[in-house]
Amino acid sequence: MSDNASVYLDNHATTRIDPDVFESMIPWFTDSYGNAGSGTHVMGTSARDAVESARRRVADTVGATAREIVFTSGATESVNLAIAGVVSRQPSGQCVVPVTEHVAVLDVVDQLERNGLSVCRVPVAAKDTETPGALDLNLLDEMIGAGTSLVSVMFANNEIGTVHPISAIADIVHSHGALLHVDCAQAIGNCSIDVTTSGADLASFSAHKCHGPKGVGALYVRRQQRIVRINPQVFGGGQERGLRSGTLNVPGIVGMGHACELASKRLDESIEQMTTLRAKLWDLLVDTIPGIQLNGPLLDRGVRLPNNLNVLIPGIDGSTLLAELSRTGVAASAGSACSSEQPRPSHVLLALGLSEEEVRQSIRFGLSRMTTSQEIQSASERLQAAIQSLGSA
């Protein structure tokens, strides 16, 4: 790569669309542009068939059956449909969520709480423990009350990469007669997912986190072993078995199906590649940046996303550093892109016990299967130069 080439390390926010995925979408914009709900002509039925083919691909990737997949506009809508869909059936129940959940979860439960829902927020392990960000399953068991209707836990944290033991959590949740929703936005393409064997009742996905298009996602609603019922939140045409009305985004759905299929085929190779490059980046940073600290679980314990690295650089303001990195062509972030319009200290890092000052000195790197060793080397060099530049300013 050239010295001036951009280095994109913000793959928790979004990923580059795979060229093969993009190519698979083009005909559904230009030639076969029928509405999947129009069954009276070939273009409509072709679109419907393409949607059903994509549905099977997504289902195969996550260990579901096709009839358990509901297409949405993305993980945020899927999360809202899952949580509000369950709560609206049991409005007097309780919802339990860890304090480190994505804002898509926290904001919807906050809104439902204002409307009368009882919400229980579970703390996580602190920064000085063996697995920062992890849930104490005994504490979770204690905090799930008799009236709990839903527990929502992310598969893997988008800021510090903590991977939660979903099967064990599902056993606890089900012992209380509650349902489990799992936010899998960060896991797809980075972890092996089987919603059936893990015990999830509902699970949310987004295409653009695994080299698919933006604006399309899916919600898994269990129909095997036990049937999970939720109330729709969008009404109109009765699409998606009445659970999510609206004209289907056929090109996006086709792209999501193809992206999921590719992510599944390349999963083992991708995990090995990202783990190796993440370790290289960390080693380079440790060797060149005095006092740098790791936020989140240790890298070699198998309880962290393979593409995640969140670090604290003492004495350097993270926002200023990110601006300097951006000027040199390196894309990284301070945390969740979904809350970047309202910048505030990361609720995830604060939950680990970091001070506001420490949180503001932290930045996040997110790799993907498209990240190269040369990019990691270049990013490290540019980061070191940026820190030196800020230190001498």
Dig out the tokens for 210 from the structure. 């695994």
pLDDT of residue 90: 86
- β-strand partners of 163: 156
Dig out the tokens for 283 from the structure. 């080693």
Active site residue 338: yes
pLDDT of residue 165: 98
pLDDT of residue 91: 81
Domain ranges of the chain: 7-17+267-392, 19-265
**Length of the chain (residues):** 393
pLDDT of residue 116: 93
At a CB cut-off of 8 Å and minimum separation 6, what does 335 contact? 159, 346, 348, 349, 362, 364
pLDDT of residue 248: 98
Residue 220: phi and psi, rounded to 5, are -90, 130
Low pLDDT (below 50) residues in the chain: 339-340
For residue 148, the 8-state DSSP code is E
pLDDT in tens, 292-344: 999 999 998 889 999 999 999 999 999 999 999 999 999 999 966 554 455 68
Task: Label the pairing between strands 217-221 and 69-72.
Answer: antiparallel
* CATH code of the domain made up of 19-265: 3.40.640.10
**Which of 315, 275, 271 is closest to 298 using CA atoms?**
275
| Domain 7-17+267-392 CATH assignment equals 3.90.1150.10 | yes
Residue 279: phi and psi, rounded to 5, are -65, -40
Contact 232, 245 (CB under 8 A): yes
At a CB cut-off of 8 Å and minimum separation 6, what does 2 contact? none
The string over 157-166, giving b where at least 16 C-beta atoms fall within 10 Å of a residue's C-beta and e elsewhere, is bbbbbbbbeb
**Of 95, 191, 210, 338, which is the active-site residue?**
338
- β-strand partners of 180: 151
pLDDT in tens, 66-91: 999 999 999 999 999 999 999 999 88
Contact 161, 177 (CB under 8 A): no
The H or E element spanning position 22 is helix 19-25
Ramachandran quadrant class, 373 (left: phi over 0; alpha: psi -120 to 50; beta: rest): alpha
Counting Cα atoms < 13 Å in the Cβ hemisphere of 264 gives: 16
Q: How far, CA to CA in Å, does 240 sit from each of 129, 180, 184, 360?
A: 44, 21, 20, 43
